[in-house]
Amino acid sequence: MANPVVHFEVVGKDAQALQGFYEDAFEWQMEEAIPNYYAMALPGGDDSGINGGIGQAMCGGAGHVTFYVEVPDLEATLSKIENLGGSRVMEPTDVPEGPSIAMFTDPEGHLVGLVKGDS
């Protein structure tokens, strides 16, 4: 796959409740990333699957479930998406001690994330 899905995210009103739910439902290990706000969800086991994040929606916004696609160039990908009928939601942003990310909605309004790959 040229641009693989590399991360998922579930955010909502109550970070701890969501983390507890997914931990209990699927036996995922939760590793606190931002205290009382965001945790990395690690499927563990046989190394299949991808890691994700579960936490509180920013600024009291609506919760969402999304996935992140790895691409070599965030700006070029956002421009291509806009030409195809998608909409830019979040400009390329450097995550502290993490990757650069951006977000868009597809033509039907589904929120999708982008993460800059190492290429």
Identify the pLDDT of residue 15.
93
pLDDT digit string (tens) for 63-92? 889 999 999 999 999 999 999 999 999 999
pTM score, whole prediction: 0.82
Mean pLDDT of the chain: 90
- Which residues 6+ apart lie within 8 Å of 13 measured at CB? 56, 57, 63
**Under 8 Å CB-to-CB from 88, ≥6 apart: which residues?**
78, 81, 82, 102, 104
Indicate if the pLDDT at residue 119 is higher than 60. no
Domains and CATH numbers, the chain: 5-116 (3.10.180.10)
